[in-house]
């Protein structure tokens, strides 16, 4: 579920990635890995 959401974010982010989006994705992935 998370991976699908992240892939959707990446696809929609192709038109305009912001630093906030990138940091959010990194934080979420780190939390998932640690848990």
State the total domains in the chain.
1
Torsion of CA 9, 11, 20, 32, to 10 degrees: 40
The Cα–Cα gap between 21 and 1 comes to 18
pLDDT on residue 8: 75
Identify whether 3 is part of a domain: no
Q: Is residue 23 part of a domain?
A: yes
For 17, the domain range is: 8-34
Percent of the chain with pLDDT over 90: 23
Taking the model in full, what pTM does it have? 0.44
- Check residue 4 and give its pLDDT: 76
User: Residues in the chain, how many?
Assistant: 35
Contact status, residue 1 vs residue 20, Cβ threshold 8 Å: no
Report residues of the chain scoring pLDDT below 70.
Answer: 1-2, 6, 9-17
């Amino acid at each position: 579920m998370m991976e699908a959401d992240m892939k959707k974010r990446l696809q929609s982010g192709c038109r305009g990635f912001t630093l906030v989006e990138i940091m959010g994705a990194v934080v979420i992935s780190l939390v998932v890995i640690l848990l």
